[in-house]
Structure 1
Amino acid sequence: MSGLRNGCGGAVGRAAGARRVWRSGGQQVAFSWRTRCLKVVPPESRLVSTSPSRPGVASLCAAALTLSGLLVTGVAAAQPAAAADPAGYQNIRINEVTSSNSDTVELYNTGSASVSISGWKVSDDSFSPQSFSPSAGTVPAHGFVTFDSPKGLGDSDKLVLYTSGGTVVDRVDWATGKAKPAMARCGGDGTGAWVTTTAATTFGAANAPGCPASLPAAGQVRINEVTSDGADTVELYNGGSSAVSIGAWKYVDNDTSHSPASVSSSSPSTTIIPAGGYATFGSALGLGDNDSVFLTDGNGTTVDSVTWAAGGAKPSDERCANGTGAFQTAASATLGGANSCPGGGGGGGTGGGRLLGGGGSLTSGCAPEAPTGTAPTPAGTSAWPGGLDVTIADNVCAFTTSTGPEGRDVSGLAFDPANPSVLWAAKNKNWLFKLVKSNGKWIPDASWSATGKQIRFLGGSGEPDSEGLTVGANGHLYVTSERDNAKNTVPKDTIMEFDPTAAGSTLTPVHQWDMTSQFPQLDTGSKDDANLGFEGVAYVPDSWLTATRWTDPLTGAAYNPANYPLHGSGLFFAGLEWDGTLHAYGLNSDGTFTTFGTISTGKASVVDVTFDAGTQRIVATCDNACGETHTFLKVDATGAIVPDVTYTNPAVMPVDNLEGFALAPASTCVGGSREAVWSDDGIYGFGSGSSSYGHALYSGTFPC
């Protein structure tokens, strides 16, 4: 072909748009309008797709073509440049769709940054893209956007999502009678398995309310890892409890001109995946940049999908956590085994980062709640320094109570420093639990109360919205409350002292300190504002404050405990959820208190506070509102308490309203590690069908 010249910039990704094929001088030439590239195809390659992974295909990009080179058999490639795909486009997933009435579609962003969907299009099984009118032009991080399909959706149909440049982003197929009332991802928005018939539609919100309590066996199989580097291998993982046959399953890439290929004809390692097992196969379609794998069952209904951008899936893209999480690029491929899941919370541990334990059916009335208010992890956050593996550490629906039958709201955790085998838990709506370990799980201590004890305000009245707790030097429990749940629109920011050895099933305070008047911004008549008060509290010993030469804000000099004779032997630092600040108090034995001022944590919110003697730091925890982070604070050279380092959670953990956090005392260290425990306020885990659904407690390790 005279006029064509070689050397245009590197490998060219396979176009998702239309192709034209001509013959010139005995050669077959393919042109892609979307990538604006010509491909000269030798005879041995003419019956296969013009994929960049095929040998013998010369790609010639438009930037390197002369005008004469574009004139092939009288056809000129005078096409406008395709729009660039926005960063993070591969994180936008079809999350819910209905083929009834409005033909509504919901998109979800699994990434940590917003993505513009301006100019994007959709098609049905005609593969003829059309514009749509979304509820918003940008999908926020971990957020939703909905629209009504411009193409009518019916039985045995499909929905394909395209960028403005024509790249296929996601695709979902369903068989006759499905997607009514909706077809949705369950077990995690954007990452969960497809359920073809939900109980209800949940457009614009988390799918969990419409999802079944458990998934069918086939729904437990996930695309777990994929590589576009060399062998183009796909790995499937069966997270269920029974074997699944995949012999009749098919897959296709993002080229809409391709017919689905059979898994059984693609050299699979097995066609029956055992429970907890893996299967791998090589894509017969070739996988390149800006590509996808869409997996369907024997009925042609989508099981799972994955999309990656340029440079992705090299050496592989893998789910983290293994079998359940979102995809990220791996440092090395682990095809046929557990994913490595490096970074994003890994760092200090070994192994593949597994989420262990869990499972079980929800009890009557138990109702997990999906997280809200998720925000990206702040810049400068360090990876979790402990082990990668995390174990679900309670029984399913273990914390149902008379005022909280849904089982949610375990919000505060604290180890007893005098007896580290005891973990105290505060549950909203006025409950305390004394927990002990049994067969690797934290369970209520039946000798104290198998069902927890209720707490009241001073005088035996009300329902404290118990959020955080700490153990004082006297062994008493100090519990924060944001409001009285009997009057939940009115703030009541208090710290209450309880004697855990007191008899009876209901505890009343030994002392109570009310700081409500210090936070007028919470008293608006709104229950939401009233619910943004004291969320956590930590007892900090005077010995640490004096040894670190903390500057007393009231005197401007080094803190001297003798100046405050009624306060005991330490101060209490309460975390305000409203703005992420800590408030230091001396709690006096006569019921009065001394306010030592406010400390910035650098966070937008605080959900728990603890003092860790092992690291000699105050730890302020924030849930998904701050990317699941823990800020360790120290006393600096000027005597001020300031942030020192911030860690994320282990990567295998869900991104939920994880409101409780506790570190075991250093006296428990074994092999350089000690226990860390988290509580999920919504007991949501990775959503319906996951092993974490209905569980509140997670156990991991932290360095000594």
Structure 2
Amino acid sequence: MCAAALTLSGLLVTGVVAAQPAAAADPAGYQNVRINEVTSSNSDTVELYNTGSTAVSISGWKVSDDSFSPQSFSPSAGTVPAHGFVTFDSPKGLGDSDKLVIYTSGGTVVDRVDWATGMAKPVMARCGGDGTGAWVTTTAATTFGAANAAGCPASLPAASQVRINEVTSDGADTVELYNGGSSAVGIGSWKYVDSDTGHSAASVSSSSPSTTSIPAGGYATFASTLGLGDNDSVFLTDGNGNTVDSVTWAAGGAKPSDERCANGTGDFRTATTATLGGANSCSGGGGGGTGGGQLLGGGGSLTSGCTPEAPTGTASTPAGTSAWPGGLDVTIADNVCAFTTSTGPEGRDVSGLAFDPANPSVLWAAKNKNWLFKLVKSNGKWIPDASWSATGKQIRFPGGSGEPDSEGLTVGANGHLYVTSERDNTKNTVPKDTIMEFDPTAGGSTLTPIHQWDMTSQFPQLDTGSKDDANLGFEGVAYVPDSWLTANGWVDPLTGAAYNPANYPLHGSGLFFAGLEWDGTLHAYGLNSDGTFTTFGAISTGKASVADVTFDAGTQRIVATCDNACGETHTFLKVNAAGAIVPDVTYTNPAVMPVDNLEGFALAPTSTCVNGSREAVWTDDGIYGFGSGSSSYGHALYSGTFPC
């Protein structure tokens, strides 16, 4: 079980055993405190970080290395705040190749880091997430007391992409490793140890002789020959004796398993079902251990400048709504205040979302104040693709004028972005309901449309001189292939017969369904290459409003999303036996989600499916989360899972 200093072969020597305390002696949340940065130069400084949502007292805690017994230390504060830092200078010198072990006042091991010659000079730090990222040696200035991102290298070593992904202490005592990198990693010489100081490190290959490497995006599992306890740890080192990853869990964790949520990057949570050898189900709750990512529902603090907006227009969930069919857990999927722009420094108003069907690793996002973002995944979060634009690209109406109130977007068959606008923000009392086509490969920081189709005259009810009414126009749009419409027997409202795409020779290979926030209707259009359009009429979603629209090839449905105005719901529409597009089923969001103006929704293509699940992403238009002080305050994107 949990004890004191540990033993690894090679460069490391045996530590000194400390007494095992009763579990009650350990402060709540102790397992969330992680060693975050350490230097063996001059001051021998150590930084601790709290990945949890509540403060943790470190009164009476001790530290040891590979040659001295646990010693008291003098921290910069007696409590590590939620998502905060505490530093101290080691009471004994740290060597060129050494280890550092942190204990509670009762002697329970909290965390440990090992390094080989030269690796902690000038500093070793976690990169890719404070308290959770990969251990690397940095040459940049130390960042003690602050986030480590500034000192991280541009790319992590291949071995650093391997994470402990799941662990079980239910008798099988199995450890799962996941390789989140783009190349295979050899682990034949790697070792692991638990928190029992009577145990020497065991080799991964001796525990599972067939486990000598992990393919890119793959898994390796091995049964711990050391045995794992009810409150325990696993520490993983590479062939040189450097720490790769670690996990600590309190009593009650790791049964049936503790797993990262999201898979490969998120915090460790106690699961209801073990998924060893495959993607994590994230089917449990609570928090047995520590890891990367940030789950919804915890405490936190807003640390940089943006102005969240509280939700408005909340209504009850309609009768007949079904529960979310995907995973129960949701993670925050962006950096705090990530979408500040020159026309929207508040950093909010992110609305439409769309996965790129030709490249599912790309997620396009529209911000209301006339900006587009190309997002890519990095350490479990969606961040702007710096090769496209690290700060987004501004869009204009034809001729380079105005500020489109960009709300929804979709990707057409030609790879172009089709964006809806409901007004010009420079004249926000006047509706301007248009769909614009942009070429995302165009250079420059500002994009102008190749085509614009203006449907404003079809909605006179929005033109009242009120900015509120003008703001109830096109809120989302989806490209729907002709092949789906014909295969499902859609009846063309203009002819009363089966839809025949050949009747509309200039429209391309699909129609566009725009969602009207005013009354929750969808409006189908053929967008012609000469700038004209064909109107196919309105479709009822059965909901009072529409916040986003997407076509999901996985379920073969058009999805109309409504935010808190309809109880945070997603209505999946099908073609019925009579050839009409009608609601099929409506789902709520996962219960853990906040009830906010969640105006964007996207489902990843089924090509990304792992173990029957794929990613679902939401946008919080007001970045309000659960309100001031919550972990989600100041964040725009949430990530969960949906069945394939």
Secondary structure of the structure 1 residue equivalent to 2:429 = coil
Gap change, CA 1:621 and 1:135, over 3 Å in 2:
farther
Task: Tell me whether 283-292 or 151-160 shows the greater mean CA deviation.
Answer: 151-160
Q: Give the Cα separation in 2 of the matches to 1:395 and 1:72.
A: 40
Cα drift, residue 273 of structure 1: 38
Over 3 Å counting, the alpha-carbon distance change for 1:638 and 1:286 in structure 2 is same
CA–CA separation in structure 2 for the residues paired with 1:393 and 1:172:
28
Deviations along 1:547-598, one digit per CA (max 9) or x if unpaired, are 0010000000000000000000000000000000000000000000000000
Identity in percent: 94
Shift in alpha-carbon separation, 1:389–1:313, aligned structure 2, 3 A: closer
Q: How many residues align?
A: 644
Q: Secondary structure at the match of 1:450?
A: coil
- Mean CA deviation greater in 582-591 or 208-217: 208-217
Give 1:198-213 correspondences, 5 Å limit. none
Give, in whole Å, the separation in 1 of the partners of 2:182 and 2:72.
Answer: 42
Distance 1:517 1:268, change over 3 A: farther
2: CA distance, partners of 1:540 / 1:158: 58
Check 1:615–1:197 CA distance in 2 against 1; reply closer, same or farther (3 A cut): closer
CA deviation string 1:71-130 (max 9, x = no partner): 999999999999999999999999999999999999999999999999999999999999
Q: Equivalents in 2 of 1:441, 1:75: separation in Å?
A: 40
Whether the aligned pair in 2 keeps the contact of 1:181 and 1:198 (CA below 8 Å) is yes
| Inter-partner Cα distance in structure 1 for 2:539 and 2:370 | 28
Unaligned runs of 5+ in 2: none
Check the 8 A contact 2:35/2:47 in 1, yes or no: yes
Seen in structure 2, the aligned counterparts of structure 1 residues 207 and 331 have a Cα distance that, compared at 3 Å, is: same
Change (3 A) 1:81 1:642: farther
Tell me the distance in 2 between the aligned counterparts of 1:655 and 1:298: 48
Is 1:187–1:690's contact at 8 Å kept on the other side of the alignment? Answer: no
Higher mean displacement: 421-430 or 294-303: 294-303
Contact 1:98 1:182 in 2 (8 A): yes
1:492 aligned to 410, 422, 432, which one? 432
CA drift of 1:489 comes to: 0.3
Specify which of 514, 530, 544 is matched with residue 454 of structure 2. Answer: 514
How many Å separate the matches in 2 of 1:348 and 1:165?
Answer: 19
- Contact 1:496–1:510 (Cα < 8 Å) also in 2: yes
Cα 1:216–1:356 change in 2 (3 A) is farther
Could you state the TM-score of these two structures normalised by the residue count of structure 1?
0.52
In 2 relative to 1, CA 116–514 (structure 1 residues): closer, same or farther, beyond 3 Å?
farther
1:401 positional shift: 0.4
2:324 pairs with 1:384: yes
Give distance in 2, aligned partners of 1:581 and 1:276. Answer: 42
Query: Structure 1, residues 134-175: CA drift from partner, whole Å, max 9, x if none?
Result: 999999999999999999999999999999999999999999
How many angstroms does 1:652 deviate by? 0.9
Residues 202-257 of structure 1 deviation map (CA, whole Å, 9 limit, x = unaligned): 99999999999999999999999999999999999999999999999999999999
> Which residue of structure 2 lines up, in the alignment, with residue 674 of structure 1?
614
Change (3 A) 1:82 1:354: closer
Indicate if the aligned counterparts of 1:141 and 1:376 stay in contact, CA closer than 8 A.
Answer: no
Task: Show the 5 A alignment for 1:627-642.
Answer: 627-642=567-582
Cα gap change, 1:299 to 1:663, in 2 (>3 Å): closer
Deviation sequence 1:27-64 (CA, Å, 0-9, x none): xxxxxxxxxxxxxxxxxxxxxxxxxxxxxxxxx99999
**Structure 1 224/379 Cα, relative in aligned 2: closer, same or farther at 3 Å?**
farther
After TM superposition, the structure 1 stretch with the greater mean CA deviation from structure 2, 552-561 or 194-203, is 194-203
Q: Which moved more, 1:518-527 or 1:166-175?
A: 166-175
Correspondence for 1:51: none
Q: Deviations over 1:674-699 (max 9, x none)?
A: 11000000000011111100000000
Shift of 1:389: 1.0
Taking structure 1 as reference, are residues 107 and 594 closer, same or farther at Cα in structure 2, changes over 3 Å only?
A: farther
Residues 112 and 375, structure 1, Cα contact 8 Å, conserved in 2: no
Moved more, 636-645 or 161-170: 161-170
Q: After superposition, give the CA deviation of every residue in 1:250-292 in whole Å (9 maximum; x if it has no partner).
A: 9999999999999999999999999999999999999999999
Segment drifting more, 494-503 vs 197-206: 197-206
- TM score, norm. by length of structure 2: 0.57
Distance 1:249 1:168 in 2: 21
Of residues 291-300 and 694-703 in structure 1, the stretch that sits farther from structure 2 once superposed is: 291-300
In the alignment, is the contact (CA less than 8 A) between 2:3 and 2:20 conserved in 1? no
Larger Rg: 1
Change (3 A) 1:299 1:497: closer
Q: Would the aligned equivalents of 1:391 and 1:700 in 2 still touch at CA under 8 Å?
A: yes
Cα gap change, 1:392 to 1:310, in 2 (>3 Å): closer
Contact 1:349 1:388 in 2 (8 A): no
CA pair 358-668 structure 1, distance change in 2 beyond 3 A: farther
Alpha-carbon offset, residue 67 of structure 1? 82
Following superposition, the deviation at residue 362 of structure 1 comes to: 3.9
Q: Is the 8 A contact 1:269 1:281 kept in 2?
A: no
Cα distance change of structure 1 residues 586 and 334 upon mapping to structure 2, 3 Å threshold:
closer
Q: 1:144 to 1:443 in 2, by over 3 A?
A: closer
Q: 2-side partners of 1:531 and 1:103: how far apart?
A: 58
The verdict on how the C-alpha distance between 1:116 and 1:688 changes in structure 2, with shifts beyond 3 A counting, is closer
Is the 1:142–1:375 Cα contact (8 Å) retained in structure 2? no
Does 1:614 pair with 2:557? no
Q: Which moved more, 1:531-540 or 1:90-99?
A: 90-99
Which residue of 682, 696, 704 maps to 2:636?
Answer: 696
- Listed one character per residue, the Cα deviations across residues 359-388 of structure 1 (whole Å, up to 9, x for unaligned) are 875465400111011111111111111111
Contact 2:516 2:523 in 1 (8 A): yes
- 1:411 deviation in Å? 0.3
Shift of 1:355: 2.9
Note closer, same or farther for the CA distance 1:575–1:270 as it changes in structure 2 (3 Å cut): same
Deviates more, 1:130-139 or 1:632-641: 130-139
Please give the alpha-carbon distance, in whole angstroms, between the structure 1 residues aligned to 2:91 and 2:182: 40
CA contact (8 A) 2:416 2:438 kept: yes
Aligned to 1:529: 469
| C-alpha spacing 1:400/1:121, structure 2 compared with 1 (3 Å) | closer
SS at match of 2:35: strand
Seen in structure 2, the aligned counterparts of structure 1 residues 177 and 448 have a Cα distance that, compared at 3 Å, is: closer
Hey, which bits of structure 1, 4+ residues long, moved more than 6 A?
A: 60-341, 343-354, 357-360
Residues 371/421 of structure 1: CA separation in 2 closer, same or farther (3 Å cut): same
Question: SS at 2:491's partner residue?
Answer: coil
Greater Cα shift, 354-363 or 83-92: 83-92
More moved, 161-170 vs 663-672: 161-170
Corresponding residue for residue 15 of structure 1: none
Offset at residue 660 of structure 1 (A)? 0.3
- Give the conservation status (yes or no) of the 8 Å contact 2:613–2:643: yes
The 2-side partners of 1:626 and 1:108 are apart by 40
Q: Is the 8 A contact 2:4 2:107 kept in 1?
A: no
Q: How does 1:104-253 map to 2 (within 5 A)?
A: none
CA change 1:525–1:617 in 2 (3 A) is same
Of 586-595 and 330-339, deviating more is 330-339
Please give the alpha-carbon distance, in whole angstroms, between the structure 2 residues aligned to 1:73 and 1:453.
Answer: 56
CA separation of 1:601 and 1:447: change in aligned 2, threshold 3 A: same
Query: Which deviates the most, 290-299 or 396-405?
Result: 290-299
User: What per-residue deviation string (whole Å, max 9, x for no partner) do you get for residues 627-657 of structure 1?
Assistant: 1000000000000000000001111111110
- CA shift at 1:528, angstroms? 0.3
Contact preservation (8 Å) 1:350, 1:387:
no
> For the residues of structure 1 that align with 2:343 and 2:414, how far apart are their CA atoms?
29
Instruction: Tell which deviates more after alignment, 634-643 or 287-296.
Output: 287-296
Contact 1:436–1:444 at 8 Å: present in 2 too?
yes
Tell me by how many angstroms 1:338 deviates: 21
- 3-state secondary structure, aligned to 1:219: helix
Q: Which runs of 5+ in 1 are unaligned?
A: 1-59
